[in-house]
Amino acid sequence: MSDAVIGLIVNPRSGSDVRRVIAAAASSTFEDKISIIRRVVAGAELQGISRFVALHDPHRLVVRATDTNRRVQVDTLDMALTHTETDSETAAAMMRDLGCAVVVVLGGDGTNRVVARGWPDVPVVPLSTGTNNAFPYYVEPTVAGTAIGLVAADEIPVDEVSRPAKVIRLDHEGDDDLALIDAVAVDDPYVGSLELFDPATMRAALLTRADPASIGFSSVGGLLDPLAEAEDHGLFVRFASIEAADRIVRAPTAPGHYSDIGIAECRRVALDEPVEVPGPVLLAFDGERKRRVHEGETVSMRVRRDGPRVIDVHQVMTRAAREGRFVRSPG
């Protein structure tokens, strides 16, 4: 058995916000998340991992997923809860200090963003349970757990099956922040709103990736100029009203929901190239409205490749299979 520790951060609210009412987004229930956790633990256990540390949540999802498995030890972080996204940020920092080999995150882009705030280069397997997901991915949790176990036990070196993700670093009046997929400037009065973005309020966006097969702002950029995560560029898009636009793109801004969006400018930016957006605007990070930029203020944004180390489950499993790790002689 390995003495490696795996961190578990589960957002119980992911996949259950108001966008299930105003769009056609699918839901992720507590039972879904419990099942995912149980399968991840089973896969990791197969590779000799028996120790896990988890962020406590009021619905006890990790406890409910593991309380009948006497072969594993699951410890809950000793921390005061605020019942806000800050809990995930604090948990990630504590898991780093505890020496967790890998952190598994169940949530969407927003959950992974705050985890990256707490542990900027976290070795992570982000499993999608959110809404407009571009950063986390879909993979069978049993297989993900097996790959996680191989990396955590150092059977497969993490540096050889992961790469730092691109992120957006923001500087606003000396205060920094980050986004994993998109930082968007909108003319919107409501901080924290999870409602759909009105194209008429959209002013500009900086993207780390632009995927025409995704949903949300990544899709908007992807339908204009596809940009893969592996490419060392960002994409800057400036929006316009339909009447004043140079071109119009029809994009899926939420599950089951298309919008016509006016485009004034779309161009690639180099890594670390500054993009400045003047106020007054409201900044949304990875789909969530977070920060107001007032009249006379400017926010500076740059795409950098110094974010979380996202573990490639397929690469781990392919390498392990080629090394014969899942085959033994009979008898």
pLDDT of 124-143, one tens digit each? 999 988 655 789 989 999 99
End-to-end CA distance of the chain: 22
Q: Supply the pLDDT for residue 115.
A: 97
Query: In sequence order, which ranges of the chain are alpha helices (DSSP H)?
Result: 19-22, 30-46, 61-66, 86-98, 109-118, 141-152, 217-224, 313-322
Domain membership of residue 108 (yes or no) is: yes
180 in the same domain as 161: no
Q: How confident is the model at residue 12 (pLDDT cuts 50, 70, 90)?
A: confident
Domain membership of residue 11 (yes or no) is: yes
Average model confidence (pLDDT) across the chain? 91
272 in the same domain as 129: no
Query: Among candidates 112, 148, 171, 174, which has minimal Cα distance to 315?
Result: 148
Q: Supply the pLDDT for residue 287.
A: 87
Tokens encoding 244: 């004043």
Domain membership of residue 284 (yes or no) is: yes
- Tokens 């573990």 locate to 311
254 CB-side CA count, 13 A? 21
70 CB-side CA count, 13 A? 0
10 in the same domain as 121: yes
Domain membership of residue 296 (yes or no) is: yes
- Tokens 């879909």 locate to 138
For the CA atoms of 279, 284, 84, 175, the dihedral, rounded to the nearest 10 degrees, stands at -40
153 in the same domain as 8: yes
151 in the same domain as 265: no
109 in the same domain as 36: yes
Domain extent at residue 153: 2-165+307-322
Q: Supply the pLDDT for residue 226.
A: 98
282-329 per-position pLDDT tens digit:
999 998 899 999 999 999 999 999 999 999 999 999 999 999 999 988
Domain membership of residue 128 (yes or no) is: yes
Q: 0.85 cut: is pTM over it?
A: yes
77 in the same domain as 25: yes
211 in the same domain as 77: no
d(CA 114, CA 107): 11
C-beta pairs of 77-80 under 8 Å, 24+ apart in sequence = 77/53
248 in the same domain as 147: no
81-139 per-position pLDDT tens digit:
999 889 999 999 999 999 999 999 999 999 999 999 999 999 999 998 865 578 998 99
Q: Supply the pLDDT for residue 18.
A: 44
* Torsion sign (Cα): 193, 199, 200, 202: positive
Domain membership of residue 85 (yes or no) is: yes
Specify whether the CB–CB gap between 147 and 46 falls below 8 A: no
Residue 21 has pLDDT above 50, yes or no: no
Domain membership of residue 328 (yes or no) is: no
Tokens encoding 38: 């149980």
Q: Supply the pLDDT for residue 22.
A: 46
174 in the same domain as 154: no
48: number of Cβ within 10 Å: 15
What's the CATH number where 258 sits?
A: 2.60.200
d(CA 176, CA 301): 10
Query: For the chain, what is the domain count?
Result: 2
Query: Among candidates 152, 100, 109, 149, which has minimal Cα distance to 127?
Result: 109
Residue 20 has pLDDT above 80, yes or no: no
What's the CATH number where 161 sits?
A: 3.40.50.10330
171-192 per-position pLDDT tens digit:
987 888 999 999 999 998 766 6
Domain membership of residue 330 (yes or no) is: no
133 in the same domain as 26: yes
Q: Supply the pLDDT for residue 193.
A: 63
Q: How many residues does the chain have?
A: 331
Which residues, in sequence order, are CB contacts of 329 under 8 Å at separation 6+? none
Residue 23 has pLDDT above 90, yes or no: no
Orientation of helix 313-322 relative to helix 141-152, angle to 10°: 70
d(CA 56, CA 78): 9
149 in the same domain as 217: no
Q: Supply the pLDDT for residue 195.
A: 65
207-262 per-position pLDDT tens digit:
999 999 998 999 999 999 999 999 999 999 999 999 999 999 999 988 888 999 99
Specify whether the CB–CB gap between 220 and 253 falls below 8 A: yes
